[in-house]
A and B are shown apart, each in its own frame.
Chain A
Amino acid sequence: MRSVDCLRAAVTAIATNFLRTVLTTLGIIIGVGSVIVMMAVGAGARSEVERQIANLGTNLLVVNPSARLFGGRSSGAGSNLPLSEDDVHAIETKVPGVQALSGQLWASATVVYGNANFWTRIWGVHAHYLFARSWSIDSGREITEQDVAGARRVALVGLTVAKKLFGDNDPVGEVFRIRNVPFTVVGTLTPKGQTSFGHDHDDAIFVPMTTARAQLIGKHPLVPDQVGSISVKFQEGTNLLDAQEEIEQVMRQSRRVPPGDDDTFVVGNPIESMKARTAAQTTLGWLLAATAAISLIVGGIGIMNIMLVSVTERTREIGLRMAVGARRFDIMLQFLIEATTLCVLGGLIGIVLGVGAAFVTAGIADWPILIPPQTIILALAAAAVVGILFGFLPARRAALLSPIDALRSE
């Protein structure tokens, strides 16, 4: 008997008792759905970490002013005094292993070129910013020490800005305006792409730190040479935990924090905090894996049960098939294919529900998800394997029936 005939028989049998079929496959549906959500969340978390590592490099620490506490209540991030050029200098000279560092100060502004205008984020940075953030220019040149020293009105543009503002033209050498101040483009940046939270790295303009302070941000009343936050890139092989302590000591001196007082700054490791954030996703992944395994087993037992019922109900049909020449293997194959079809059907429903659930999870928990095509194939394969494993016993029972007994049954 050809598999096509088997499949036709299976579909007929399944369609005969559609409600019963769907209820039977509930375990498979939940199992496969869990597999999908598990894989989607896991793959999303992994790709997020990998993207962060690719974007930031692995040896990056970032210093920010910390939230000031008023009577134990936080008054918001950065409410302590801003970091200053002195802090940058102190880290550069006193912390061992520093490869590159740069302050970064930002403001949002409208930029204008010809008829095009565009709302974007402007960053004031030091000369080695790109290197510190593992970034590089695509064309033109970087911002130099001289640019910073002279507070020159030069700018680097990200890919998104370049496209929106200059279209297909080469932006290098063009003059555009930020808050009515003319700037000359000296370079464009290689694309970095989007974070999974929808933030576009390439939607940014970089200008010298000094220029940004003078033209765009305005002077801070207490810290005229504020630098926002500081990115510090360390040499390969540096122990970042040690480096973090070094920075903390240097910063306490530089900011004159009295002994016993809390730090007025925080030193963060973006990769570590990203990993910590994705740890929750990993835990959920294991939970879902357990759910998936249990559901698939319970679902498989459900399939076995319904197939045993089906074999009993259709004993006469089996007898007839044997009478007209079905071999034992033909009967066996027919019921195996029926069980597998049942499971794959449940698997398909589970995939649809699982993909839906993955998106809902992503929406509620604000997690990145990723559904690689292998996930779908794996889920379907899992369902099919359950069908074959748990369909085997009923199929064998059907195949070993004696033709006479089967024909005589009512």
Chain B
Amino acid sequence: MSGRRTRREPAAKDKPQRRRTLVVLLVVLVGLAVYSVRPLTYQYHFRQARRAFEAREYAAAVAALESAAAWRDSAEAHFWLARTYRHLNRPDRFTRHLQQAVQRGLAPELAEREQLLAVVQSGQIAMSDPRVAPLFVASDEDYFEVHDAMVRGAFETFDTELALRLIDSWQQGFPQDPEPYVLRGMYFVFVQQWSAAEAEFREALERGSDRRDARLGLAKALREQNRFAEALREYRQCLASEPDADVWFGIGECLKMQGSLEAARAAWERGLAADANHYDCLLALGELELLANRWPAALRLLEQAVALKPHEFNVRYALAKTLLFSGSDAAAADQFRLAADAQQAATRVAALSTYVAEHPDDLEKRFEIAEILLSHGQTQVGLSWLRGILHLDPNHAAARRRIAEITP
């Protein structure tokens, strides 16, 4: 008994001490946790954002950067938000975040450089412009950004020859970089050479299997070649990473072509749940309702889609057919007129574009393309054609005049 008492005495003495230690430890731990949760979480989100950015998952990058900025409103986070929005072609948000980055201490020369990249990327200045040359003095990371902006600028002004040349040199310099393959794949998508696009996207994925844009491009290229089962496999991989409306639309298209119309409908509905204003999903669902003779539902979806892209032939035509079948003949005729006009314009632009690809110096045909596009509401694309003309001939008066009329 006494032994037991002897053993228990120090324990009884230690008890308040240990308790104090525990409390101190707890306080320290909680303090540490409170102190470190912000920077740690910021770092975590920021790293996630950079990873998404490198994988060209710009929507995911924006989400992660916004989360990071919520934990620490840093110049760094706003700079990368600006850069990501530049890639997403959102000039308003690009400018806003770049300004916020500067306000939070971003070096002005970095901001200027980013601004210049935005200008290059939008095709507003020619490659011969003296402001472009200094961009080439860049770190590896910026090398990619500069080349990316220049290639996109060349595509933007329909100078495909220059764009492809830049991509080739990029690929030679960095053979393991997936980006040049992705860009060339996008070019082949633009010219609708689907098997060539497929090959490029496959090369890109070999060099970077997490490149979601390459996988989406590959899925589209396969879909356009009517290889729906293969396309579906790629889309399902995209689902695992980030299921957005584009992925759901592609899945729906594949399922439709496999004859599974109800499953296609479910996919497009998922797409609209992710983005209620997704044009392709709206059009696809509207056409499905048209096929099923459900006119009111078709009208609702197609009218919403028309509001998003009023100059697109496909949606006007689908809407016109729906109106015709539902007995609104006069309204249908109005829509058919707009659809026929859009179709004729698109046919003319396609024929002229083919001609221009073979005769890149024919500025008058380029100007005709621009005029057709501008008269059919495609201001940005029309503007790009006009800028392309000025790159080839800075003194082209008509192009200059039209640009001045359009841009304030």
Q: Do these two chains really belong together in a complex?
A: no
Residues of B whose CB lies within 8 Å of any CB of A are none
